[in-house]
Amino acid sequence: MTAAWSLAARDLSVAIHGTPILRGVSFALPQGRILGLVGESGSGKSMTALACMGLLPRGAAATGTITAGPRDLTALSERGWLDVRGAEIGMIFQEPTTALNPVHTIGAQVAEGLRLRGTPRADANAVARDRLDRVGLSRVPLDRYPHELSGGQRQRVCIAMAIARRPRLLIADEPTTALDVTTQATILDLLRGLVADEGMALLLITHDLGVVAGMADDVAVMKDGAIVEAGPAPDVFRTAAHPYTRDLLAASRPAPRAPRAVPRDEPVLTARDVIRRYGALTAVDGVDLTLHRGESLGLVGESGCGKSTLTRALLGLEPVQGGAITLCGRPGGTAMTRADRARLSVVFQDPYGSFDPRWTVARLVAEPFHLTGRPRDWRDRVAASLDAVGLERDAMDRYPHQFSGGQRQRIAIARALVTEPDVVVLDEAVSALDVRVRARVLALLDDLQDRLGLSYLFISHDLTVVRAICDRVLVMRAGRIVERGGTEAVFARPRHDYTRALIAAAPRIPAEWVP
């Protein structure tokens, strides 16, 4: 192994059909180091990774140079790339579920790269076994299929595939974004260990500054296809010379909500001992919760903990097998009348899937009027609702695809407000947004609560966000509430082991790095 190996991009620019995507990107990544590439969606960080793998989309034209060790990758033919991909550079992607082929065993998929290069089956399988052991799957047989594994295990298989031929560089594009926070921590540990033990270089692409702070030796901040700031991680965080870096840093660390004196005398949404079973599986197992008027209540938990099931039960979309739900003192859940339902609304996670693409914004926002009958002045009410979330009246006759992710989420909030509800359920409502957009939407939610006296049930896996907006918090695990209390009290002095584990696993920027 030559010590001089490094990946270097010099003045790399990419245009797709004439539209510039990358503008003069330069960086150097020597072996044994981790470079964190951070930026918001559309900043060009994934395109940089694809350029390093020779996987640019059709119609893309690249200028500048990329070198991997002594090899110039810029002018490589497709045949030439075959010697680089897998052998010199391995890559893992965000979504392990779609990155693995569901009809092949994990052993065959890890061994595939070796078999293609003529390694005999027995040897390739031996290597696959060794690599799977290395990523911590020593007890998982080679003949398992992806669907038999958990999300974290699948991502480990993807890593094993990427390192099967011992590449010098591993590119990880949002490797933990689709994973739970405790799983994320173990995967990041694994990646860190691989770099240390095998002397690999790691190009870590992420939107999460907390992840970068905990992982990277060097950081490059990307915006609009260019690197605006780069350097050793502690320096970039401490000095944050570029205003954009400062914005990102500020938005990544929303201030914890100051304790407020919310009168807890008027419960608007309650659940008593709610049980929801699917056959033998008890998804929600005796949950109690009370949401008071004007209050924000956080519901935190990892995937599969039952928070989505509980949400559907509270919204009256699914029956419960036990317990009682009330809304403003009247029967809730599936027992709600149409008028009652109008007092409860919801904002979903995905700003792209939340709207029928064939409907105008006016019609979409007015849809909840189905519960109350459409008032004569419905267009004015829709306009008022859009105004409350900071959108102009002329948005009404446009279609959802004409808006950005953040604007769509505002439209979703406008739809939730149009019937003037008492309770708004925010189901991972800011999880899919970029941090700066997220900060603005959180500020909007805060402001709306003050003006309209709304009560929020805020469901999220993201502790930072919960801490920023919730007065009280419930921690859910395996269908049960394991801890409850004032947000600051729970974060400062978690009593349950699981809460402690969640808080410890959440990536954060070290306090001494913050200017």
Encode 456-468: b = buried (16+ Cβ within 10 Å), e = exposed. Answer: bbbbbbbbbbbbb
Please give the structure tokens belonging to residue 409. 């989420």
Give the nearer residue to another protein in terms of CB position, either 183 or 419: 419
Shorter beta-carbon distance to another protein: residue 25 or 425: 425
Nearer to another protein, 112 or 350 (CB): 350
Alpha-helical segments (H) within 172-306: 181-198, 209-215, 233-239, 243-252
- Residues 340, 332 contacting (CB under 8 angstroms): yes
Closest CB to another protein among 370 and 495? 370
Nearest residue (CB) to another protein, 282 versus 354: 354
Phi, psi of 74, deg, nearest 5: -60, -45
349 vs 460, which CB is nearer to another protein? 349
CB of residue 342 vs another protein: minimum separation in angstroms? 8
Q: Residue 178 or residue 342: which is nearer to another protein going by CB?
A: 342
Q: Which CB atom, from 176 or from 349, has the smaller least distance to another protein?
A: 349
Give least dist CB 398 to another protein, A. Answer: 16
Estimate to the nearest angstrom the gap between the alpha carbon of 271 and the chain centroid: 29
Strand partners, 289: 271
Tokens of 340: 């009652």
Contacts to another protein by CB under 8 A: 315, 317, 338, 341-342, 344-346, 348-350, 353-358, 364, 367-371, 412, 415
**Cα 154 from Cα 63, distance rounded (Å):** 36
Note whether 418 and 346 are within 8 A (CB): no
Are the beta carbons of 498 and 484 closer than 8 angstroms? no
Which two three-digit tokens encode residue 77? 């033919």
Helical residues (DSSP H) of 54-90, grouped into ranges: 78-84
Nearer to another protein, 374 or 495 (CB): 374
Given the complex with another protein, which of 369 and 491 has the nearer CB atom? 369
Sign of CA dihedral 305, 308, 312, 314: positive
Rounded Cα–Cα distance for residues 483 and 494 (Å):
8
Cβ proximity to another protein: between 359 and 491 the closer is: 359
* Nearer of residues 284 and 364 to another protein, judged by Cβ: 364
Per residue, what are the HEC states of 132-148?
HHHCCCCCCCCCCCHHH
Nearest-approach distance from CB 371 to another protein, in angstroms: 4
Task: Kindly write down the DSSP assignment for every residue of 342-397, as one continuous string.
Answer: TTEEEE-S-TTTTS-TTS-HHHHHTGGGGGT---TTHHHHHHHHHHHTT--GGGTT
CA-closest candidate to residue 156, choices 193, 124, 119: 193
Q: Give the DSSP H or E segment for 316.
A: none
| C-alpha distance from residue 424 to each of 302, 303, 342, 453 (Å) | 21, 21, 10, 11
Tokens of 367: 């849809």
The rounded distance, in Å, linking the Cα atoms of 443 and 257 is: 11
Closest distance to another protein from the beta carbon of 348 (Å): 4
Q: CB-wise, 317 or 492, nearer to another protein?
A: 317
Strand ordering across the sheet containing 344-347: 344-347, 423-427, 455-460, 296-300, 472-477, 480-486
Cβ neighbours of residue 433 closer than 8 Å, sequence gap 6 or more: 351, 405, 406, 409, 441
Please tell me the total number of residues recorded for the chain in this structure: 515
* Cβ 338 to another protein shortest distance, Å: 5
As measured in angstroms, the least distance from the Cβ of 237 to another protein is: 36
